[in-house]
């Protein structure tokens, strides 16, 4: 009996050695504040591993909504959903009882049952051509993360299109000035990418930019600090999972690809519990 107890004690000791340091690190990012963690790559706790974390939210990640021809082109396949399929996915989300919201809704704490956020990275013009009308038709919302230096560039959204999208359907978030990976970027350059894009977009659109997307999902403790200092309330990464709102500056997302069936995906199977209030901030 005593031996068994000792064995259990040793086992627990070893177990906590492997688990606890990672958790302690994660906790330093709670509510977007960074306390004491220096130059380490933060990792928000995946939804699956955090049973005590009720504030979770599915955030979908799209890039292009377009017809693409070359099925051997990995960029085309990984970053594109056809307009036809996109429309079907929106209908499916409705059927599953989801309500699309924006990060500004989240900040205001006005949440419908089963909220979900649809995000679109880079600011491609096809978002205006195909995503906007489909969302509008269904009274749904989205968030487009714009690379501020590409406004009006070939294949990207023009300012006129951005303005039209942001009147009632899309929230515009920032995706930096030039789309550099932020981890390892020199301090001054990093700040310029994070702060500059917010200022430019706010000036162009005349409304506050509260959300941010790390290009390539690349971030570091310093990058998170800059995002926080710049005044963003929410930031998304590309790691796969449900977002924990206790870690608003490293929110996980679910990549959407062509053919993905929400009915059979984690989205439908998981009991998505989200409290009707957001942590006081
Ligand atoms: Zn991007």
Structural domain contains residue 260: yes
Between 152 and 71, the more confident residue is 152
| Model pLDDT, residue 119 | 98
User: Pairing state of beta strands 243-244 and 56-57?
Assistant: antiparallel
* Across 27-42, average pLDDT: 30
| Model pLDDT, residue 258 | 81
Q: How far apart are CA 106 and CA 30, in angstroms?
A: 17
The pLDDT-based confidence of 259 (bands split at 50, 70, 90) is confident
Give the containing element (helix H, strand E) for 228. Answer: helix 221-229
Structural domain contains residue 12: yes
The pLDDT-based confidence of 67 (bands split at 50, 70, 90) is confident
Structural domain contains residue 173: yes
Average pLDDT score over the chain: 79
Measured in Å, residue 181 CA sits from the centre of ligand 1 at: 9
* Across 33-51, average pLDDT: 33
Measured in Å, residue 215 CA sits from the centre of ligand 1 at: 5
Start-to-end C-alpha separation, the chain: 50
Measured in Å, residue 106 CA sits from the centre of ligand 1 at: 23
**Residues lying with their CB under 5 A of ligand 1, a single-atom ion:** 121-122, 215
3-class secondary-structure state, position 167: coil
Structural domain contains residue 101: yes
Q: What is the pTM of this model?
A: 0.78
All residues at 6 or more sequence positions from 260 whose CB lies less than 8 Å from its CB, including other chains:
89
Measured in Å, residue 118 CA sits from the centre of ligand 1 at: 15
| Model pLDDT, residue 78 | 77
Query: Mind listing the pLDDT tens digit for each residue in 241-255?
Result: 888 888 899 999 988
Structural domain contains residue 141: yes
Measured in Å, residue 235 CA sits from the centre of ligand 1 at: 13
Measured in Å, residue 38 CA sits from the centre of ligand 1 at: 26
Measured in Å, residue 277 CA sits from the centre of ligand 1 at: 30
| Model pLDDT, residue 268 | 60
* Across 213-219, average pLDDT: 95
Phi, psi of 235 (to 5 degrees): -145, 140
* Across 205-218, average pLDDT: 96
pLDDT at 273 over 70: no
Measured in Å, residue 63 CA sits from the centre of ligand 1 at: 8
Measured in Å, residue 179 CA sits from the centre of ligand 1 at: 6
Measured in Å, residue 45 CA sits from the centre of ligand 1 at: 23
Q: Give the CATH number of the domain where residue 41 resides.
A: 3.20.20.370
Question: Taking phi first (over 0 means left), then psi (-120 to 50 degrees means alpha), and beta for anything else, what does residue 214 get?
Answer: beta
Q: How far apart are CA 214 and CA 3, in angstroms?
A: 51
Query: Which residue range(s) make up the domain with 97?
Result: 2-269
Map tokens 């939210």 to a residue.
57
Measured in Å, residue 175 CA sits from the centre of ligand 1 at: 7
Between 33 and 103, the more confident residue is 103
Q: Residue 120: beta bridge partners?
A: 62, 144
| Model pLDDT, residue 269 | 56
| Model pLDDT, residue 57 | 86
Six-digit token string for 211: 């959300």
All residues at 6 or more sequence positions from 276 whose CB lies less than 8 Å from its CB, including other chains:
111
Structural domain contains residue 277: no
Structural domain contains residue 274: no
Domain count across the chain = 1
Measured in Å, residue 92 CA sits from the centre of ligand 1 at: 26
Q: How far apart are CA 211 and CA 231, in angstroms?
A: 9
* Across 29-45, average pLDDT: 31
CB 207 within 8 A of CB 166: yes
Question: Considering only 135-139, 264-268, 274-278, which range has the smallest mean pLDDT?
Answer: 274-278
Measured in Å, residue 23 CA sits from the centre of ligand 1 at: 29
Measured in Å, residue 265 CA sits from the centre of ligand 1 at: 24
* Across 113-128, average pLDDT: 95
Measured in Å, residue 140 CA sits from the centre of ligand 1 at: 23
Measured in Å, residue 79 CA sits from the centre of ligand 1 at: 10
Q: How far apart are CA 193 and CA 177, in angstroms?
A: 5
Measured in Å, residue 184 CA sits from the centre of ligand 1 at: 17
Measured in Å, residue 180 CA sits from the centre of ligand 1 at: 9
Structural domain contains residue 222: yes
């Amino acid at each position: 009996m005593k031996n068994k107890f000792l064995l259990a004690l040793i086992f627990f000791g070893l177990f906590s050695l492997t688990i606890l340091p990672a958790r302690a690190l994660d906790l330093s990012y709670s509510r977007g504040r960074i306390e004491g963690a220096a130059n380490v790559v933060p990792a928000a706790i995946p939804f699956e591993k955090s049973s005590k974390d009720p504030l979770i939210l599915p955030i979908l990640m799209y890039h292009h909504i377009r017809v693409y021809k070359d099925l051997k082109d990995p960029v085309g396949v990984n970053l594109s959903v056809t307009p036809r399929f996109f429309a079907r996915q929106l209908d499916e989300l409705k059927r599953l009882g989801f309500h699309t919201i924006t990060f500004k809704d989240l900040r205001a704490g006005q949440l419908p049952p089963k909220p979900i956020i649809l995000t679109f990275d880079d600011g491609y013009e096809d978002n205006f051509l195909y995503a906007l009308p489909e969302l509008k038709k269904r009274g749904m919302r989205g968030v487009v993360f714009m690379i501020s230096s590409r406004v009006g560039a070939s294949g990207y959204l023009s300012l006129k299109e951005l303005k039209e999208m942001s009147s009632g359907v899309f929230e515009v978030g920032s995706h930096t000035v030039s789309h550099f990976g932020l981890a390892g970027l020199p301090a001054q350059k990093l700040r310029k990418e994070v702060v500059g894009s917010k200022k430019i977009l706010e000036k162009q659109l005349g409304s506050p930019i509260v959300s941010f997307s790390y290009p390539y999902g690349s971030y570091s403790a310093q990058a998170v600090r800059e995002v926080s200092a710049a005044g963003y309330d929410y930031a998304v990464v590309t790691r796969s999972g449900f977002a924990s709102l206790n870690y608003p500056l490293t929110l996980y997302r679910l990549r959407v690809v062509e053919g993905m069936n929400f009915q059979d995906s984690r989205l439908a199977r998981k009991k998505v519990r989200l409290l009707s209030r957001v942590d006081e901030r």
